Structure 1
Amino acid sequence: MLNFQKARSKWQSYWFKLFGRWQSCPLTCPIDRPHHKHVVWSWLGSCIAIAMTAYLSTVTNSPLIMAPFGATSVLIFGVPESPLAQPRNVIGGNLLSALIALTILHLFGSSPWTMGLAVATAIAAMQITHTVHPPSGAVALVVMMTKPDWQFLVTPTFEGSVILVLCAVIFNNLAEERTYPKHWL
């Protein structure tokens, strides 16, 4: 027999989790904004890193850039102290996601369920290996949507990730108040 009071209590708790927090912090809640110097460094660093990667891609006639690298730039230049922005996460997460997606693609093809399987498996593998990097979920989708060959692991995944990390290491350490990376492994 169903206990209606218990069900009602669970329902109210569920709705509070979804909507109650909006009432506890109205639109006027203060938002921590980064110092303008941090914004300028983030802007300049990401601009140089993406432009450099795109330039090298053009000069070498090699696809070194992909859309998830835009999100990687947000992390490595916007929040370089984040655990998700560290070199191990950027390079390891991207490589692991590409490898998993390529394996699923070659075993099962590309379909809506294999897209979900590739992203979910990449997330689980990144969690297990401590290489969580959110843009890597998009790397798995790029693989499933574009159906590349195994060379995708090297170019753009590995080479592009290394170029971005090197740009972040060089650029972020030029500013006295910024240090990148916090750890390598």
Structure 2
Amino acid sequence: MTSPPSAATRPSLPHLLRVTAFAIGALMLLVTVGVVLHQPLLIPPLAASAALVHSAPGQPLAQPRNLVGGHLLSAVIGFATLAVAGSSGWSAAVAAGLSLGGMMLTHLNHSPATATAVIVVLQAPDPSTFLPLLALGSCLLVAIGLLPGRIGAHPVRYPVSW
């Protein structure tokens, strides 16, 4: 009796090292820009977004429109939830669910962005600062995501669609 084929094949060591290096580079760029701006730019949802861009560049969730749009939509939903329900674990859970529904409705599916709504509700950042920084961080991830496919370091050229 033979065993069924593995659902996921292991990446080659060179591919694994390239993906890891580009993800680290992208996240270090967020930290560097954050230090220069004296604002935190590396937030957990953006780290998850970088993982998608570099490990699954062909997937719809990783595409620029979904990454940038999903984070911004989820942040706006988070701020609206914060305004209506205040800052609590309960309202953060509602914001995450609403952001998922909003992303599905607008075809901006990017699962890490649900955590952006949670961060907004739990930390109540200033929207005039948070939203531009979130847009900047998201766009930088897209920009760095463009590099591997253009220098021959990734089998899938990112993005597949805008």
Give the TM-score taking structure 2 as reference length: 0.89
Residues 30-81 of structure 1: CA deviation (Å, up to 9, x unaligned) = 2421222321221011011001110111112233221111111110001111
| 1:102 to 2:83 alignment | no
Matched letter for residue 116 of structure 2: V
Matching residue's letter, 1:130? H
Give the conservation status (yes or no) of the 8 Å contact 2:89–2:122: no
Q: Find the aligned partners of 2:54 and 2:35 in 1 and give their Cα distance.
A: 23
Of 82, 88, 102, 1:111 maps to 88
Q: Which residue of 1 aligns with 2:147?
A: 170
Give the conservation status (yes or no) of the 8 Å contact 1:57–1:64. yes
Letter in 2 for 1:179: R
Q: Does the Cα contact within 8 Å between 1:85 and 1:133 map onto a contact in 2?
A: yes
Distance 1:183 1:159 in 2: 20
Superposed counterparts of 1:3-82, under 5 Å? 30=6, 31-82=8-59
Instruction: Give yes or no for contact 1:45–1:172 (8 Å, CA) kept in 2.
Output: no
Is this contact kept in 2: 1:77–1:172, CA < 8 A? no
Unaligned runs of 5+ in 2: none
Corresponding position of 1:181: 159
Q: Aligned to 2:78, what secondary structure does the other structure show?
A: helix
Larger Rg: 1
Q: 2:147 & 2:159 partners in 1: Cα distance?
A: 10
- What number of residue pairs does the alignment pair up? 157
The equivalent position to 1:154 in structure 2, one of 132, 149, 157, is: 132
Other structure's SS at 1:43 match: helix
**Letter aligned with residue 70 of structure 1:** A
List alignment gaps of at least 5 residues for structure 1: 1-25
Q: Scaled by the length of structure 1, what TM-score is found?
A: 0.79
Runs of 4+ in structure 1 off by over 6 angstroms are: none
Higher alpha-carbon deviation: 104-113 or 87-96:
104-113
Whole-angstrom CA distance in 1 between matches of 2:149 and 2:23: 10
Q: Secondary structure at the match of 2:57?
A: coil
Identity between Structure 1 and Structure 2 (%): 32
Q: What RMSD, in angstroms, separates the aligned Cα atoms of the two structures?
A: 1.7
Given residue 180 of structure 1, which amino acid in structure 2 is its aligned partner? Answer: Y
